[in-house]
Amino acid sequence: QRSAPAKLATIQPVNLSSNVDISTMPEIGIMRKKQPFSVFRSTEMKEGGDVVKLLMESPDFESFMKDATILKDYLNEELFVYALSRAILHRPDTKGLRMPPIYQVMIRKFFPAQTLTAAIEVAQRRGLGATIDSEGETLLIGPDHTGNEVDPEHRVAYFREDIAVNSHHWHWHLVYPTDETNEQKDRKGELFYYMHRQMLARYDAERLSNDLLRVRPYVNWELPIQEGYAPHLIDMEGRAYAARPTNLILADKGVLNNTVYVPELQLWRSRLIDAIHLGYYHMPNKTHSEDMYMDIDNLGAAVEASVSSPNFKYYGNLHNMGHNLLSAIGDPDNRYNMSSPGGVMGYVETAVRDPIFFRWHKFVDGIFEIFHQTEDPYKEEELTWTGITMEDVQLYEEELVPVGMPHSDSQTNTLHTFMNRRDIDLSHGLDFHGQNVKVNVAYLDHDPFTYAFTVRNDTNAEQTATVRVFLAPKYNELKHNIDMTEYRTMCIEMDKFTQTLPTGSTTFYRGSSQSSVTIPWEQTIESLNQGNDDESQPVVDYCGCGWPSHLLIPKGTVSGMKFTLFVMLTNWEDDKVSNSVSSLPECESCAKDASSYCGILNEKYPDKKKMGYPFDRPITQPPPIPNTLENFVVGKTNMCTRELEIKFLAKVNNQ
């Protein structure tokens, strides 16, 4: 097959003759233009899936571009972006095709209305072709556009409203859609559970950094929601995304014939919990012996859910419908014509902004934790590796790429975070009459750092290890040491990679930018158009799925916040998957980016062990031994811990 050009922005116009005949396709073109598209709404996902299927069937790259060009003018704008992006990710002849950041394409879902209005005014004031770098012209965006310190939740607005965090959430659901056209994705349900659990752990650490309680699960739907939120976003027709005042109560959502009832969600929750305790799902028209047995992967599929979930009609659509009800909570029966666009919880690109996103997902995560509590703890032999000793892990606050010997004076037990700034050009997502209009966004960042791992191999043979690195706060909000019951759900996966271990003692290094969890800032449309590669970023093809590298570590505090680093080595021979590429040092596919959260595109997940291992199952100690991390690692030579401190610096950089 003919390969695609390397960069989407450089593709030339094509002849518009196409195999697409819109008149014979009543299933597409249903969604009205300028309406916000949502993957949580089944009718919109059905049309989006039909368009994806059509684009996937284009016989070659040129036909694909012709078909896309025809469809662009016919379809809802956001639905088209979604379908085209999905097709580009999954077509073999578009492998490696770099797509522009979604926050430069659908800017209304990422930048506040007042900023867009100010940008239009700036463009009108300036002469044609003028730049925006003159003093006083720069549009600054911080978290203060959605609230102030009267609201305690505002302390972590910088995290929830980070454009790269919201872009990550959009990309994850792009790679792992829920409609029936989706081909089977390896461990998709487990990834849904684990990626969102990691977002919760990361957010909890951020809350503790800002002297807030950890997230409380939204379990009792009859009580008012104390936290409110106002997004200050608008859709393509200028309608505001609905604010959610404090103390609203979840209500049945009824718009036309599409009604969702709160008791229905309660019934689905009860049925899922019953299935967990039974150990199997009741399947339609099956005898008991033919029922599907429960595991974390099919539980994730059932909770999210999709039409391919176990007995979808019986176990329902809990996660997605919860998003829809919370989106409509301010006008559930649409008496004020607010159902479109509704609240930000109705859209994957915007949901993370709302504090209720994390409370809702804490409830969802609680269902997975009920399942984990039915599992037996790992046996000692499932946690140890005889002959391998993890002797030490040190930190150096410098980035070593390519990895080399660090400077001894950079060794530290303290990492530093700060607020950074970055320019984003808005002119590709809104018409500024040919002018480039930029905004300057603030975001949390950190100084780069490097791990130095010292390992002794006494097996008399070279070994290949999987190196697993986690981080968690040392203390909870009561300033008590976190025990293993808490640690399991609070640990943040920092990295996971393979490493050759020669016999004897060896030291190897790993830079923070190499993390299997994160991706760097995506290349902008301007860079793609100019054919420039950002030399400060790794040479990879972005699929866009991955946690933002600038948010790898929590903010910490000005005085310093204590964290515990945990490192574990396991035998790669036991972990490897037959078609995995993750042990290779380089991979041409974007699929290798951030594999911990996103898997590998069109491949099996590159680790046989359960996601989050060894913290996926309950961890206990026989009484009266305290159930602490220190006691957990006793006698397990393949594990070690190190206490470190994260300090927030009151400085602002500007890239």
**DSSP letter string over 549-601?**
GGGSS---BSS-EEEEEEEEEEEHHHH--TT--TTSS--SSGGGTTHHHH--T
CA distance from start to end of the chain: 40
Q: Which of 304, 349, 493, 522 is an active site residue?
A: 304
Signed CA dihedral, 244, 245, 250, 255: sign only: negative
Can you tell me the distance from the alpha carbon of 492 to that of 413, in angstroms, rounded to the nearest whole number? 18
Q: Quote the CA–CA distance of 398 and 406 in Å, as a whole number.
A: 8
Q: Which residues pair with 568 in a beta bridge?
A: 468, 639
Q: Is 304 a catalytic residue?
A: yes
Separation CA 344–CA 231 (nearest Å): 7
Tokens matching residue 494: 């920092």
Q: Is residue 123 classed as helix, strand or coil in its secondary structure?
A: helix
Contacts of residue 95, defined as CB under 8 A and 6 or more positions apart, other chains included, come to 3, 4, 541, 589, 590
d(CA 252, CA 91): 40
Burial environment of residue 251 by CB neighbours within 10 A (0 to 12, 13 to 18, 19 or more): middle
Percent of the chain as helix, strand, coil, to the nearest 5:
35, 20, 45
Angle, helices 355-372/188-209, rounded to nearest 10 degrees: 120
Burial of 145 (0-12, 13-18, 19+ CB in 10 A): middle
Q: What does the DSSP assignment read for 135-190?
A: TT--EEE-GGGG--TTSGGGGGHHHHT-HHHHHHHHHHHHHS--STTPPP-TTHHH
Give catalytic residues, as residue numbers: 304
